[in-house]
Amino acid sequence: MPDTRRPPIDMKALIAAARAAGEAILQVYAGDFAVETKGDDSPLTEADRRSNAVLLTALRSQYPDIPVISEETKVRGYDERRAWSACWLIDPLDGTKEFIKRNGEFTVNIALIVDGEPAAGVVHQPTTETTYFARRGHGAFRQQGVQPPVPIEGGTHYSKASDVTVVASRSHLTPEVEAFVSDLRNQGKTVSFRSAGSSLKICLVADGQASVYPRFGPTMEWDTAAAHAIAAEAGKQLLDCHTRQPLVYNKENLLNPWFIVE
């Protein structure tokens, strides 16, 4: 039996799969497309389906012994999933709303989960050909097109910085984020804002382009897992706001708690 607890991972193949999925997305993006509404009221397009098909084919052919959890595929019951020592957690098109708005801030997310923790991740932004990736113990990287990958590292912890860049929309701050920002200012810190779509928010902190990302609202495991792997290798943490413990994955309920990237 293959050892799925510590599966050998070919990062080049994962990156190639993410980019192939990105190409499938861009084929739809270039033309007119219909928007459907799923049972949870979230949008769905042909790009979601095509990307999902590309990723499932790649992962199942390369890693037939590792099951896949995808946003666009019916999730198996927890009685079965709880026995998995490893699984893929993917979001074929993270940021469908951004895709529909045509602002380019959507990504393809692939994460390997081992014993509830992200062990590897790829976040690919098709419109800019930017790929973030990481594997546990091997560092985090950003690659632009075919250029050589560049190691990335998060900056100073926001609690120790006088100038803090918060990942949030200045015009759409929730009351909870407003309170968070007010507390920073009360500590004498200068606060600025960066906005981004999808998992790129987490990547901004991992890449040292932002100080902190407070997410005080609902997200799903496939929204964060890949970028979590990248942030962790860049020296950053994704912490449950209430327990101050790292997010865990392949839970019975795939909804994430509120979290902060710091």
Mean per-residue pLDDT pooled into runs of 10, the chain (262 residues)? 62 98 97 91 93 98 96 95 97 95 96 97 98 97 97 97 91 88 98 94 98 96 98 98 97 98 98
Residue in 163, 142, 143 with CA at minimum distance from that of residue 211: 163
Provide the 8-state DSSP code for 231.
Answer: H
User: How confident is the model at residue 2, as a pLDDT?
Assistant: 42
Instruction: Residue 74: name the closest of 46, 108, 39, 123 by CA.
Output: 39
Q: Quote the pLDDT of residue 14.
A: 98
CATH number of 158-261: 3.40.190.80
Residues of the chain within CATH 3.40.190.80 domain(s) are 158-261
Furthest C-alpha separation in the chain: 58
CATH 3.30.540.10 domain span(s) along the chain: 11-151
Phi-psi region of 173 (alpha: psi -120 to 50; beta: other; left: phi over 0): beta
Structural element, H or E, at residue 48: helix 46-62
Q: Can you tell me the distance from the alpha carbon of 41 to that of 55, in angstroms, rounded to the nearest whole number?
A: 24
Give the integer Cα–Cα distance in Å for 218 and 11.
Answer: 30
- For 53-88, give one letter per residue: b (16+ CB within 10 A) or e: ebbbebbeeebeebbbbbbbeeeeeeeebeebebbb
Give the H/E segment covering residue 78. Answer: helix 78-81
What is the pLDDT at residue 8? Answer: 81
The set of residues, in sequence order, having a beta carbon less than 8 Å from that of 175 and lying 6+ positions away, is none
Cα–Cα distance measured from residue 86 to residue 6, given in angstroms and rounded to the nearest whole number: 8
Beta-bridged to residue 140, according to DSSP, are 134
- Take residue 26 and report the two structure tokens written for it: 């861009």
Round to whole Å and give the CA distance between 191 and 173: 13
CB 204 within 8 A of CB 167: yes
Task: Please report the pLDDT score of residue 172 as a whole number.
Answer: 72
- Per-residue model confidence (pLDDT) at position 125: 98
Give CATH superfamily name and number for 11-151: Fructose-1,6-Bisphosphatase, subunit A, domain 1 (3.30.540.10)
* 3-state percent breakdown (helix, strand, coil) of the chain, nearest 5: 30, 25, 40
